[in-house]
A and B are shown apart, each in its own frame.
Chain A
Amino acid sequence: MSRYNRGDADGYYEQPSFCSNFLHYSWKTITCLFSHITLVTMVVSYCVLGAFTFEALEVDNEKQVKRGIPKIRENVTQHLWNFTQEMTALREENFTIGAIKYLKSFESALLNAMTKDGWDGIEDEHKVQWTLTGSLFYSIIVITTIGYGHIAPKTPWGKVVTIFYAILGIPLMLLCLSNIGDIMATSFRFLYWRVCCYFCTKRPKKLKRGRSTYRGSERLTRSRTVSARRSVRASARSGDSGIYSDVLQHSYHSDTELRYYEDPSRRSTSVPRVRPNKYNRTTGYATPRNLSQNPNQLRVNSLAQPRVPNSLDRRNRDVAIEMDPIVLDNTPILCNKYVIGKGEGFARTIPGKGLTLRQMEHQSRATSLPASGRSKSMPRSQNYLEPPEIHSPESSDKEDFEPQSSRIRGKRASRGRRSKSPMPMGPPKMMTPLGYGHRSKYLDDPESDTDYYDDDYYESGRSTIKPVPIGLCVLLVVSYILAGAYLFMTWEGWEYLDAAYFCFITLTTIGFGDLVPAKGVSQDGYYATISIALCSLYLLFGISLLAMSFNLVQEEVISNVKSVAKTLGIIKSDSDDEDEDD
């Protein structure tokens, strides 16, 4: 349904005013949110439905079992009575032997009732396990595949319904959890880079300040090119699996990107070859969709809103893309294969069609004929991040203002040197305390010239996949387990180790069921309800937290494992290691 809406929303591309664009993106975010909400509500309603069904199916059986227990006792008493009556002389040895025999049979009858018939050990008929909350808990336990087994269906119908309930419910739950995990991952990444790593982002700011000194003198020529480039890049960048923080470094990026275009030799040689690969690979799963969108967007952007694509706009778009429910629940790896195969086809079509008008505009101003000639001759081989025509005015810019400030020039010169030399001289780890050093490892391109590319690229604010350190995720999960242990310790009165063990067993979905909330304690209805609610909230949130941390860590761990495997000489097929971390 929501999919349909999004489809309709695409129609807004035809009226590309700022207002409608804004409307479109807000609409998109709303639909995305809505689809998330519908997913969650679907899961919840599915659980509630299951609760009612299972309660209706199982309650009578359980009551019957409970009614049966006194009968067992009665039987044993009767046997004992008969036994005593039959004994001619009451002697202790004989009696105890007989009594032990009867007690043993009593024991096994009770055991049978508990293990087979699902008796919970309480005879009171009003305290059944299959209350509404109990069955709700049961349905959650089923569809999360935890399966404590402290309550299990005993009637044939209950079993059949459980099977079908699980068949439908488990994928639904997985979908929901992975969605939630994705949302959490994005927000966590955002939080981490925005809030926690404030200090790391300080350095780029300094740089920005430095640049602004010459920017003032430059404004006239510059503002145009920058804005144009921005519009181009914004549209192209939308292919990123967007991260908000790249908005932060926005202007800074534009500056460094400028540098790319200034370097004609590099562009002409290494760029078209390297870019598509890298781009596709790093952007991961959001790409195919965006690529397919790109023709539209580009056309619209370049034609009708040359200066509009500001940070807000882009951010919206990124949000919309990032939250796309269809694309998100997939593992990135699969799509990547496809992207590498076919994405280049898309990429090829884009610049030629979409940018020409803009390019012409520019070129008419800059009057650099060779550039335009080149752009016409090889529009197909160009990549969409590299609109070649824009470069010409800038190169002239560069010559103009280079002597202005020696500091900047020094920087630039060093950059330029680095970018031209095949060997990267100490990759610039600008805003990367932990991440980017690793990042270059992900792209296991043997070519050396791709390396500096990566670095420059990251520097230029391709902060798209800013990895959150593994340690942090592990810490998060561990602390969640420990906090949960404390919670359950106080609530259920377990030992701390027991509680931690319970949390672990629950979150890994092993679910032994030896420790279950609201069991074994004298069961007050209200109390049981609350503890069950607490437990289910804990485990739902915990599992989505796990999904989140997998999402965050996945790529890095995969690459690490792969590199280890490579050094060991194991590496044969990549899929093994990927699956290990799913």
Chain B
Amino acid sequence: MERRRYGSRRQRKKQRTWLKKCKEYIRQLVAFLFSNVGIIGLVVGYTIAGSFIFMTIEGRHVQKMKLEVLGNRSLYAQKLWNITMQLNAKVMTKEEFHRRITEELFQYQRIVVNFTRRGYDGTDELNCTAQWSFAGAFLYSLTVITTIGYGNIFPHTPVGKITTIVYAIVGMPLFLLYLSNIGDIMARSFKWIYANCCLCRWCPGVAKRRAMRRIRREQKMSQAVGSDEEGGSSSKTSSDVNIPVPDSGPRDSMVSDNLTAYTEESYDVQTVTVPLTICLMIMVGYICGGALLFCKWENHWTFLDASYFSFISLSTIGFGDLVPGDKIYGRGIDFYSEVLELSFVFCSIYLMLGMALIAMCFNLMQGLRTLLEHGLSLDLDPRKNCWFRLRILGSLLISSDRIAESTEKSIELAQTEKLDSTTLYCPKCEILQKCDAY
């Protein structure tokens, strides 16, 4: 009994360890897949898988439709021939011919319109299922999970529709995850670049000056607060404030003392607030750059068309009236499939990058957003409120680091209610002016 139990236990143990190993591997795999690098691969892999699925499902249908179109065309050619023969038997006048032919063409036009609505793309070649080629299906899958949904190609078969629904349900959260992950990484790296390059945190001179400025500002702020706390007579407070810091001498020493502290205190790069304008500029720049590229790539597109396309795509509206690969109509097949594939791939890359960039911008704006919420959630005296909100909006729009800082500080002050309602307006103005004066 005992032994058996032991044996079974050992077996179980073995199994368990094996299972554990398995579990561990799976866990690591999953962890990797959802990590920052893995998520890109996951999204791309999901899209590729989707493109294969849709290719197989929808490719056949397109062939069928093309056959129908070809049949219809030859049918109408036959009809035209019949008409001509009929007319030829009599006396063939131009008017009669025109009338009959136009009637037939009108019929034919209706049919063509119907086919176009059902997704006919104007190519005859049966082998070239250009729309549901790999690149096309890839773009389609991407537009599904990004909810852009151009609609230049769409599933026709019931199976394809159901697959699309399921695919979207799984894919959209995945893509959102990708966005947040990549956006986070990009925001971090961008902040780093911004802090080190644009703000010149590296150069010692700039840092020094910055620290000086900051110290001075803080002093001013504290002075203003002090005067508020004193309340009552302003003359008294001014004298009070002036007494401890009368001359430049001691003040300078103080500044220099603090300076070392400030410069040594390495700036936490991630706390830098990137101004809103820069985010906007990035977005606009990306759209314009994309527009230029598309402009070159697609022959018929003007710059306006291309930027319109970029905007509509990146805002996930996705009309689909302009889609890369437009120039294909009326071109030869060899040329066309290659170019189409390339342009689809290019468009996909552009979209994935652009969405990540948007996510990055939103991520960057969050610091400002917390500031905004923070300020707006304050429930103060209406005048004060108004003032605060104006300032916060200003800091969002003008969006320099220091205004944001000073606003934050004044909010803090307001929260701790060091400033009471009587001394609202003037000291605030002063603080703002002082801050702006630098």
Contacts and interface: CB of A to CB of B under 8 A. Distances in A.
B318 to A, nearest CB: 5
B161 A147 contact: no
Interface of A: 3-4, 6-8, 10, 69, 73-74, 76-78, 80-81, 84, 90, 92, 95-96, 99-100, 103-104, 106-108, 110-112, 114-116, 118, 121, 141-142, 145-149, 152, 154, 156, 159-160, 162-163, 166, 170, 288-289, 292-293, 295, 326-327, 330, 334-335, 337-338, 342, 345-346, 497-498, 500-501, 504-505, 508-514, 520, 565, 568-570, 572-573, 575-582
B316 A337 contact: no
DSSP class of B's interface residues: helix, strand, loop or mixed?
helix
A145 B319 CA distance: 9
Given A330-B373, A512-B149, A579-B179, A149 B304 contact: no
Interface in B386-438: 386, 389, 415-417
Contacts of A582: 176
Given A77-B105, A107-B73, A7 B329 contact: no
Contacts of B369: 334
B31 to A, nearest CB: 5
B226 interface: no
Contacts of B2: none
Contacts of A288: 373-374, 377
Given A96-B78, A326-B377, A505 B149 contact: yes
Contact of B330 (A99, A108, A335): A108
B415 A345 contact: yes
Contacts of B173: 580-581
Listed residue (B76, B84, B317, B381) with the most chain A CB atoms within 10 angstroms of its CB: B317
Interface string B173-213: 10011011100100000000000000000000000000000
A99 B94 contact: no
A81 B416 CA distance: 90
B77 interface: yes
13 contacts: A4-B385, A7-B380, A96-B81, A104-B73, A106-B108, A108-B122, A108-B329, A162-B308, A288-B374, A292-B378, A293-B379, A508-B172, A514-B119
Given A100-B73, A512-B151, 14 more contacts: A6-B379, A10-B379, A96-B74, A107-B73, A111-B329, A145-B147, A146-B149, A148-B151, A166-B315, A338-B370, A345-B416, A508-B168, A509-B149, A576-B34
Interface of B: 27-28, 30-31, 34-35, 69, 73-74, 76-78, 80-81, 84-85, 88, 92, 94, 97-98, 101-102, 105-106, 108-110, 112-114, 116-117, 119-122, 124, 143-144, 147-151, 154, 158, 161-162, 164-165, 168, 172-173, 176-177, 179-181, 184, 302, 304-305, 307-308, 311-312, 315-321, 326, 329-330, 366, 369-370, 373-374, 376-382, 385-386, 389, 415-417
A114 B308 contact: no
Contacts of A520: 117
B127 to A, nearest CB: 18
A156 B304 contact: yes
Contacts of B370: 334-335, 337-338
B102 A147 contact: no
A4 to B, nearest CB: 6
A508 B144 CA distance: 10
A96 B70 CA distance: 13
Contacts of B172: 508
A325 to B, nearest CB: 10
Contact of B77 (A99, A146, A579): A99
Closest 4 CB pairs of A and B: A7-B382, A149-B319, A579-B180, A510-B149
A570 B26 CA distance: 12
B177 A576 contact: yes
Given A334-B373, A501-B165, A512-B150, A580 B319 contact: no
A149 B377 contact: no
Nearest to A296: B379
A104 B124 contact: yes
Nearest to A293: B379
